[in-house]
Structure 1
Amino acid sequence: MDRMRALQYLLKVADTLSFSQAARAFDVPASSISRRIADLEAELGATLLHRTTRAVRLTEIGALYVEQVRAGMSQLREAEELLGLRSATPSGTLRISAMPSYGQLLLMPALERFSDRYPDIVLDVHLSDALVDLGRDQVDIAIRGGRQPQARVVARKLDSHRFVLVATPQYLAEAGTPENIEVLLHHRCLLYRGPHSLIRWQALTAEGWQELPTVPAFICNDGAGLMAMVLRHKGIALLPGWSVAGYLQRGELVRIELAEPVSVSRAGEGGIYLLYQAGRYQVPKVKVAVDFLLAALSQPD
């Protein structure tokens, strides 16, 4: 039995809880996936998966086994890539995950310059708001906004994640500039839809944080789409400061200052973080990418 292949199949089934999805990932029949894992179970003398006609899930011992296998496979990949230390030229595929808006606006221009400097590195960029597990998802570098992560990763702050209310001068000339949240609620509010729900605005009032009962004039799950509507004078949006800085400097947008702070979260502004696993920094392609992106994207608070 090809133990390595069986383990790869097992990890994919554990991630997807589906033989058919795992089969599509490896471009093999689902029966091959099932048979290889069954052979592995027989060799180990343990049941790793509960199978029914409708679902598949890990057994208790299967979950523990998968956790150890995943760690071992990650170490094996790192050991193989460390062989590249003998080469003076960083190379290989570099997998990067980033938030769509940040990726399109700031990361991609930086990666164009990075690619010119390191042509032997193949960039595999995935733009998504979905959270990633660097080890499980085989991602070398992730860029995410929020509070500083605590577990198992190195987090280097690139920028603040402060949200600001903005609109065009034309919109404000026609609709007026709100000075408090009561007036704001009568304006056309453009809202962002996150991966799981609509992102409601929060205001810090004298009574504490409260969710604003805005009636959305427009909703979009794409930051570029939301920005386009703001620039077409369609209303007021609450956007990250890093995404609107250029528009504010050019006078295309105006920042709206209210008596009460407004944000998308009650937890504070957070930051934009570049994330990577400490052990992976020894791999040449990861090291040069981390160093380059920190120099290209880091902003003073």
Structure 2
Amino acid sequence: MDKLRALQYLLKVADTLSFSRAAKAFGVPASSISRRISDLEQSLGVELLHRTTRTVRLTEIGALYLEQVRPGMAQLDDAQELVGQRSSTPSGTLRISTMPGYGQLLLMPALHDFSDRYPDIVLDVHLSDALVDLGRDQVDIAIRGGRQPQDRVVARKLDPNRFVLAASPQYLADMGTPRTLDDLASHRALLYRGPNTVIKWQGRDADGWRELPVTPAFISNDGASLLAMACKHRGLVLLSEWALKGPLSRGELVQVTLDQPVSVGRGGEAGIYLLYLQTRYRIPKVRVAVEFLVERLGDGVRGDD
């Protein structure tokens, strides 16, 4: 039995929860995937997968087994890729996951120049707010906003991600300009929907941070749509400073400054972070991409491992 191949098949089935999708990834029949995993189960003397006619999932012992196996398999994949890139020219497919708004406004223009400099690197860019597991999801680089990650990843801060309240001049002329947190209750709010829920606005007064009871006028998981609605005088919008830079500079929107802070979080250091696994940094395509993007998009300050 080719145990290494069986483990590769098992990992893919566990991640996709599908024999057919795993088979498509490896270019082999689903029956071959099932047979190799069955041979592995027989050699171990345990059942690793629960199989039905419609679903497949790890057993409890299967999940524990993969928890131990996965790091070693990831290191083996990294070693093979590192050895395979013996030439001085970085090459291969570079998988990047980024937040949609940041990706469209800032990352993609930078990647156009990156591709000119490194034409042998194929960029595979996924726009999503969903959290990723860099090892499990086979992502080389992720760009996410929020608190500095505490996981076993390298985090390099690209932007402080300061949130700004804004509206169109016409909206403010019609509805008045809010000056306090309580004033927001009489205004229409354009809200962002995150991966799991609508992002609530938070204000800080003498008693600390509290959720603000705003009236939604429009909700979307697309920052560009929120900006468009704000420019059409539909309400107040609370977005990252980098997202508002264009409309503010053109005068389509103006910043609204309250007497107390308003944001989408409750304090603590936030930012836009470039994330990667230290083990993959040694691979030329990952190393040159990390350094290029930090130089282009950030201040080069490195976060904690």
Q: Which amino acid aligns with 1:7?
A: L
Please tell me whether the aligned partners of residues 84 and 283 of structure 1 are also in contact (alpha carbons under 8 angstroms): no
* Aligned match of 1:184: 184
* Aligned match of 1:273: 273
* Aligned match of 1:137: 137
Please tell me whether the aligned partners of residues 167 and 230 of structure 2 are also in contact (alpha carbons under 8 angstroms): yes
Q: Which amino acid aligns with 1:90?
A: P
Deviation string 1:132-169 (CA, Å, 9 cap, x unpaired) is 11111111111000111122111000001221111112
* Aligned match of 1:292: 292
Helix, strand or coil for the counterpart of 1:294? helix
1:38 and 1:269 map into 2 onto residues whose CA distance is 48
* Aligned match of 2:223: 223
Alignment of 1:246-285 (within 5 A): 246-268=246-268, 270-285=270-285
Helix, strand or coil for the counterpart of 1:266? coil
* Aligned match of 1:196: 196
1:234 and 1:300 map into 2 onto residues whose CA distance is 38
Please tell me whether the aligned partners of residues 156 and 300 of structure 2 are also in contact (alpha carbons under 8 angstroms): no
- Worse-superposed segment, 29-38 or 264-273: 29-38
* Aligned match of 1:47: 47
1:93 and 1:17 map into 2 onto residues whose CA distance is 24
1:212 aligns with 2:212: yes
Deviation at 1:190, TM superposition (A): 0.5
Helix, strand or coil for the counterpart of 1:145? strand
* Aligned match of 2:95: 95
Deviation at 1:242, TM superposition (A): 1.4
* Aligned match of 1:117: 117
Please tell me whether the aligned partners of residues 48 and 62 of structure 1 are also in contact (alpha carbons under 8 angstroms): yes
Helix, strand or coil for the counterpart of 2:186? coil
2:25 and 2:282 map into 1 onto residues whose CA distance is 29
1:296 and 1:84 map into 2 onto residues whose CA distance is 28
CA RMSD in angstroms comes to 2.1
2:89 and 2:16 map into 1 onto residues whose CA distance is 36
Deviation at 1:26, TM superposition (A): 4.7
* Aligned match of 1:105: 105
- Worse-superposed segment, 240-249 or 113-122: 240-249
Helix, strand or coil for the counterpart of 1:244? helix
TM superposition outliers: structure 1 runs of 4+ over 6 Å: none
1:263 and 1:199 map into 2 onto residues whose CA distance is 10
Deviation string 1:215-253 (CA, Å, 9 cap, x unpaired) is 211111111111111122221101011111233233332
Please tell me whether the aligned partners of residues 84 and 90 of structure 1 are also in contact (alpha carbons under 8 angstroms): no
Structure 1 runs not aligned, ≥5 long = none
Helix, strand or coil for the counterpart of 2:13? helix
1:257 and 1:298 map into 2 onto residues whose CA distance is 26
1:236 aligns with 2:200: no
Helix, strand or coil for the counterpart of 1:142? strand
Q: Which amino acid aligns with 2:100?
A: P
Deviation string 1:171-207 (CA, Å, 9 cap, x unpaired) is 2122211111222121121011111111111111222
1:192 and 1:171 map into 2 onto residues whose CA distance is 19
* Aligned match of 1:6: 6
Helix, strand or coil for the counterpart of 1:185? helix
Helix, strand or coil for the counterpart of 1:50? strand
Helix, strand or coil for the counterpart of 1:273? strand
Q: Which amino acid aligns with 1:49?
A: L
1:196 and 1:93 map into 2 onto residues whose CA distance is 30
2:282 and 2:27 map into 1 onto residues whose CA distance is 33
Q: Which amino acid aligns with 1:274?
A: L
Structure 2 runs not aligned, ≥5 long = none
Q: TM-score, normalised by structure 1?
A: 0.92
